[in-house]
Structure 1
Amino acid sequence: MTHIFYEFSSLKPGVPTVETLMEVINSSELTRFVIGAEVVDFVKKALIVNTTISSFKNCRFAFDNGAHFIEFDSKGKSRRFSDVPDWFVSPAEFARSQWLINHKLADVHATEFVDVLMSFPLKERRAHCNLLFGLDLHKTGVVPAVPATTSNLGNKKGKTTKPKIVDLGSFELFRQFFERMKEAVFADQFPTLQVLTGINNLAKAPQALKQGIRTWFKAIAGDLPPNNKRVEAGNALLFCAPIREQIRQIEALGLEKYYQGLSRAIAEADESFITDFSYTPPER
């Protein structure tokens, strides 16, 4: 069985030690992991001694964030090449898929997911959030400020600060959002941002998460999540009725198919404002 290992400096390794490496290689499953510095050093030194290493048979390694690639065949004979192989994925793509699975984060609620990220040291936290949410934090010297309330959004000194569309790049996060929205709407409960994110204190929620969920909700409902003023007005039944029909149509189409189309639409509408964004899914 093939085992693929990536040296991605921005991601917490799932295989940090040589002992863990050998455990993974001896398993019978197809595996993909980020490796730590100890493993990288071990493999590179082993290749200096011998280019055929039976212990590494059917293993593939991508070093230096995808600058160098080595494959070992079924007998452990190594082959180096400079072209990017079809089994290589970018750090961001890996972070949003297999990395979440490896670290048992693919199915957790948003609150637990945020708690895990907040447990990382600041530098690691920024690196992971940058890959997971496409925040481009490397372009700035500080972490973007999180507005305490939505009242901070608007026009300041003639320069618009209206929120732009965001795609979180995770079907699992979209699935969780969709289930929370569906539960609220079919109970005739206002699907507020607190309900949709699963986080009561929105000041602690990542800004990208809030923007992404606003984007998804606007695409489905044609409106932004209701704010406190709308909730206080109290027309939950009227607000939820048309959304229920949209939910039924999405489920008839297929949730993953809908998400894939929505992600493409968000990418094509890059830099658009959430309030101006709309999406019409393809017919079945």
Structure 2
Amino acid sequence: MSESIAHQENRLARVRGIWLRKMGAWLGLPLVLVSVCGAASPFTNVAVGERLPEADLTKLEDGTAPYIGGAKANVFVFFRLDQENSVLALRQLQEAKQRLGERSVHWALIVADSYPLESIKDFVKELGTDMTVLLDHDNELYGRLGVILHPVIGVADAEHVLQAYVPFRKLNLEVRVEAHVKRVLGEINDEQLEAILNPPPIKLGGNGTVAKRNLRMGQMFLKMKKYDAALQAAAKSMDLDPELAGPYGLKAAAYAEQGDCSQALPALRRALELDAEEPLAKAAAERCSPGTE
């Protein structure tokens, strides 16, 4: 059987990562520069199909726990506190966890213990995740796996064999993680996995799809309290599809959460004209009474 596209990409990326690290060391380049040059590189010390090393890490709250558990599928991610892409990845990972429901999946979020403990706790609390958070002492596990990027996501099976490296994406990352997990669980085959990872090009036939993509990005920015970015995404979405209620609701919510009801109300009213059940507009209405200007 021919090697799947996903496995080919993982294998080639690993080779590229090893080459870049060797060249970087030979030329005396700092690791951060090598990381930028090798942005597609996954775990450079563990290839897809190889068994991951065992390791128990300190839990955020108390005690220790393995980053790979006893579940049928295991998902782990290395992240940083001070990086927008890490926040976006973790929010999408939480969505994947919810979509997979009660399936046998172990989830672990791994962060360097060099960050202040209280900062990590505040970050996790704001994120609202129920996944296990583990502290990597002196980036020991990070180094053992040969990771040179953040965020980086791995999917392993019950035998602790690495089945997939999932590259970061700002959109639809949860769909890709869900697909890899279902493949490990035997719910889909390689062909079905490839169809999800590499769908045929979509004929848009208009701007609606792009408008919804901008809307979804704006909703993520709203959750992160990046209100200016949320408003920019809402504006782009409205330009593409003026009859879509969501962008107006997003605009209303972004202003309402900043206490600017005079700016929120026009967008709120327009959103509810288009869709009386638009959730962000209804949330904004709770913050801004109809008489507030």
Normalization by structure 2: what TM-score?
0.25
Considering only CA atoms, is the larger Rg found in Structure 1 or Structure 2? 1
Normalization by structure 1: what TM-score?
0.26
- Higher RCO (CA < 8 A, seq sep 6+): 2
